[in-house]
């Protein structure tokens, strides 16, 4: 399990919690006499831990989104497919304990089994290290990707325009500062000027990307 802990970026004090998180019900049923527990109870708890951490993340990073949009995004983040992709990224299937029937039926790659096990792992980390440890793990393996998507979706030019319009007689202007590279892989540079003074510079693989990067730099500078 050391290799799995390395991929999780977390070392368990109570190894039994991680072991339980990896026990599929089919395996526990085959070893019923030993008193072994499946990961189903941990899965139940992990679902709530994941839901809370994700809701807090979305609430803090999307201050302008209404409840309906937050609910929709959270549902997409914690869905079976999303958890399945996270489980695949850490090769969780290789560490599962399955019954003979599930093993022969391809259970190690089944989306539902991997997604449930991922929630169980989140719960195991929560029980072992508290909500801070669980939150760090969930952010690292799942929510970091959403933050990157949030950054991509944000319209920095509009945000900058709204910021400067709070004062009268403010003039924004974007201008291209250069380009380099072959035609199939050009990099453009842009500047944004506020009242004829450069307040931000940025680059991108299109003029639009360069202007957005310049606007982001300007926003950061002006908000400071």
* Sequence-distant contacts of 78-82: CB under 8 A, at least 24 apart: 78/47, 78/50, 78/51, 78/54, 80/111, 80/112, 80/115, 81/111, 81/115, 82/142
Which alpha helices (DSSP H) does 62-185 contain, by range? 67-77, 80-89, 100-104, 111-138, 144-153, 156-164
* Residue that is last in its domain, among 153, 184, 203: 153
Known active-site residue 162: no
Does 136 lie in the same domain as 30?
yes
Position with higher pLDDT, 102 vs 40: 40
Reported as a single tens digit per residue, the pLDDT across 79-89 is 999 999 999 99
Which of 30-34, 70-74, 140-144, 152-156 is predicted least confidently?
Answer: 152-156
User: Does the annotation flag 169 for ligand binding?
Assistant: no
Does 202 lie in the same domain as 130?
no
Tell me how far apart the alpha carbons of residues 192 and 142 are, in angstroms, rounded to a whole number: 34
Distance of CA 36 to the CA centre of its chain: 33
From the candidates 5, 102, 103, 119, which is the catalytic residue?
Answer: 119
Q: How many domains does the chain have?
A: 2
* Residue that is last in its domain, among 153, 180, 202: 153
Per-residue burial over 51-68, b if 16 or more Cβ lie within 10 Å, else e, is eebbbebbeeebeeeeee
User: Does the annotation flag 128 for ligand binding?
Assistant: no
| CATH for 172 | 3.30.160.20
Does 163 lie in the same domain as 148?
no
* Residue that is last in its domain, among 128, 153, 178: 153
Does 98 lie in the same domain as 139?
yes
User: Which pLDDT value is given to residue 148?
Assistant: 66
Rounded to the nearest 5 degrees, what angle is found at the Cα of 133, between the Cα atoms of 147 and 70?
A: 35
25: how many CB neighbours lie within 10 A of its CB?
17
Does 218 lie in the same domain as 164?
yes
Known active-site residue 119: yes
Band of residue 150 on the pLDDT scale cut at 50, 70, 90? low
3-state secondary structure of 22: coil
Q: What is the pTM of this model?
A: 0.67
Does 83 lie in the same domain as 6?
yes
Does 97 lie in the same domain as 7?
yes
Does 168 lie in the same domain as 72?
no
From the candidates 47, 80, 85, 103, which is the catalytic residue?
Answer: 47
3-state secondary structure of 204: strand
User: Does the annotation flag 20 for ligand binding?
Assistant: no
186: how many CB neighbours lie within 10 A of its CB?
13
**Could you list the residue range(s) of the whole structural domain that residue 143 is in?**
2-153
Reported as a single tens digit per residue, the pLDDT across 23-81 is 999 999 988 877 789 999 999 999 999 999 999 999 998 887 889 888 988 998 899 99
């Amino acid at each position: 399990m050391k290799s799995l802990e390395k991929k999780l970026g977390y070392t368990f004090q109570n190894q039994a919690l991680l072991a339980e998180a990896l026990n599929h019900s089919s395996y526990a049923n085959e070893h019923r006499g030993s008193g072994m527990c499946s990961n189903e109870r941990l899965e139940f708890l992990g679902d709530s831990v994941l839901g809370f951490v994700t809701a807090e993340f979305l609430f803090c990073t999307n201050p302008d989104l209404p409840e309906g949009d937050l609910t929709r995004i959270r549902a997409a983040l914690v869905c079976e497919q999303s958890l399945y992709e996270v489980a695949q990224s850490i090769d969780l299937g290789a560490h599962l304990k399955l019954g003979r029937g599930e093993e022969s039926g391809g259970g190690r790659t089944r989306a539902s089994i991997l997604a449930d096990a991922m929630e169980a792992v989140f719960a195991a980390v929560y029980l072992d290290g508290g909500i801070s440890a669980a939150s760090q793990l969930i952010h690292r393996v799942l929510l970091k990707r959403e933050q990157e998507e949030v950054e991509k979706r944000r319209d920095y030019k509009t945000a900058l325009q709204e910021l400067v319009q709070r004062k009268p007689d403010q003039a924004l202007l974007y201008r291209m500062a250069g380009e380099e590279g072959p035609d199939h892989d050009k990099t453009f540079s842009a500047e944004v000027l506020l009242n004829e003074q450069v307040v931000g510079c940025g680059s991108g693989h299109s003029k639009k990307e360069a202007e957005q990067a310049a606007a982001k730099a300007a926003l950061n500078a002006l908000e400071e």
